[in-house]
Amino acid sequence: MKVLVLQSYGGAGEFIIEDSIDGFRRLGNTVEKVDLNEDFPINLLNKIKEFYPDFVFTIDHNGFLRPIIDELNKKEILHVSWFTGYPLHWAPK
């Protein structure tokens, strides 16, 4: 599988991402990483077109802006977000 990982900095997510990349690779997946601090979102959209991953992985929905999700849906690319907090905190009450 081809996995595109969205790298952000700060907090525990930074360490979880590195461990996740290591795990994906140990399982035999091809992994590429996009730095969300460099020319985001253009850099991410270009990487999606170039690498065409089987799925995109991020921590706490970092990088999942509406144009990015629309592009992933259009290309039928799965997107996975590992929530490290309480995800229902953001749900309507």
Of 57, 60, 56, 59, the closest CA to residue 77 belongs to 56
Please report the pLDDT score of residue 88 as a whole number.
73
| pLDDT of 87 over the 70 cut | no
SS3 state of residue 47: helix
H-helix or E-strand containing 45? helix 42-51
pTM of the entire structure?
Answer: 0.84
Please report the pLDDT score of residue 56 as a whole number.
96
Q: pLDDT tens digits for 33-83?
A: 998 887 888 889 999 999 999 999 998 877 888 888 999 999 999 999 888
Please report the pLDDT score of residue 40 as a whole number.
80
Higher per-residue pLDDT: 56 or 89: 56
Please report the pLDDT score of residue 23 as a whole number.
97
Domains of the chain: residue spans and CATH? 2-90 (3.40.50.20)
